[in-house]
């Protein structure tokens, strides 16, 4: 079976935001947490330790850059960072902005069973906001 992120299959679940040096930045279609996105490594790897140290360093800096932008735009109290990959093993870090008193505050983020989807127009607005913030950082 083709890799979810190496093939085009992911495009059914994510909106493209931008491309950085070592990853692509995607907005998850599921938006229980407004601004939730994922950073997918450009090269197929399944574990962080498989990345060349320089690639790992750059990737983590990009994670921090996107997290900073998302936290500011969506006024999050905390960013949660998730790498799971049991099923879709190609390395991708979920960036989940959480708010005090909001969904799952103080608990682990649950990946499945969610169903907050937006209009194409709303996705475009979120993508533009995040893209604009990343182009100035
Ligand atoms: Zn892959």
Closest by Cα among 20, 22, 2 to 10:
2
Give the integer Cα–Cα distance in Å for 34 and 37. Answer: 9
5, pLDDT greater than 80: yes
**Structure confidence by residue, pLDDT tens digits, 41-52:** 999 999 999 999
The whole domain housing 103 covers 9-135
Rounded Cα distance, 41 and 52, in Å = 12
What spacing in Å lies between the alpha carbon of 56 and ligand 1's midpoint? 16
Residue 4 lies in a domain: no
Q: What is the DSSP pairing of strand 23-28 with strand 92-98?
A: unpaired
CA distances from 115 to 111, 112, 130 (A): 11, 9, 22
Q: Ligand 1 mean position to 7 CA, how many Å? A: 7
3-state secondary structure of 110: coil
CA of 21 to the centre of ligand 1 (A): 17
For residue 110, the model assigns a pLDDT of 81
Overall domain count for the chain: 1
DSSP letter assigned to residue 113 = S
Residue 3 lies in a domain: no
Asked whether residue 69 is assigned to any structural domain, the reply reads yes
- Domain assignment present for residue 47? The answer is yes
More confident residue, 1 or 128: 128
Structure-token pair, residue 27: 């907005």
**Residues 111, 35: Cα–Cα separation, whole Å:** 15
Question: How many Å lie between the centroid of ligand 1 and the Cα of residue 90?
Answer: 5
Task: Tell me the CATH number at 91.
Answer: 3.30.428.10
pLDDT, residue 2, reads 87
- Chain segment 58-116, per-residue pLDDT in tens: 999 999 999 999 999 999 999 999 999 999 999 999 999 999 999 899 998 887 767 89
pTM: 0.94
Top pLDDT among 1 and 94 is at 94
Asked whether residue 77 is assigned to any structural domain, the reply reads: yes
Token pair, residue 88, equals 């879709």
Within-domain flag for 2: no
What's the pLDDT at 108?
A: 87
What pLDDT score does 137 carry?
66
Q: Kindly give the distance from the C-alpha atom of residue 37 to the centroid of ligand 1, in angstroms, as a whole number.
A: 18
86 CA to centre of ligand 1 in angstroms: 13
Residues measured by CB to lie within 5 Å of ligand 1, the ion: 3, 5-6, 44, 90
């Amino acid at each position: 079976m083709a890799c979810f992120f190496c093939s085009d299959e992911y495009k059914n679940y994510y909106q493209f935001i931008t491309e950085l040096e070592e990853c692509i930045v995607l907005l998850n279609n599921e938006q229980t947490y407004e601004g939730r996105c994922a950073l997918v490594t450009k090269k197929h790897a399944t574990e962080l330790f498989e990345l060349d140290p320089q690639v790992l360093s750059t990737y983590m800096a990009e994670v921090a850059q996107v997290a900073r932008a998302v936290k500011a735009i969506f006024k999050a109290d905390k960013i949660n960072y998730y790498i799971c990959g049991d099923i879709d093993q190609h390395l991708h870090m979920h960036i989940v902005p959480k708010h005090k008193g909001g969904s799952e505050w103080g608990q682990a983020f649950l990946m499945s069973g969610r169903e907050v989807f937006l209009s194409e127009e709303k996705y475009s607005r979120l993508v533009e906001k995040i893209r604009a913030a990343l182009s100035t950082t």
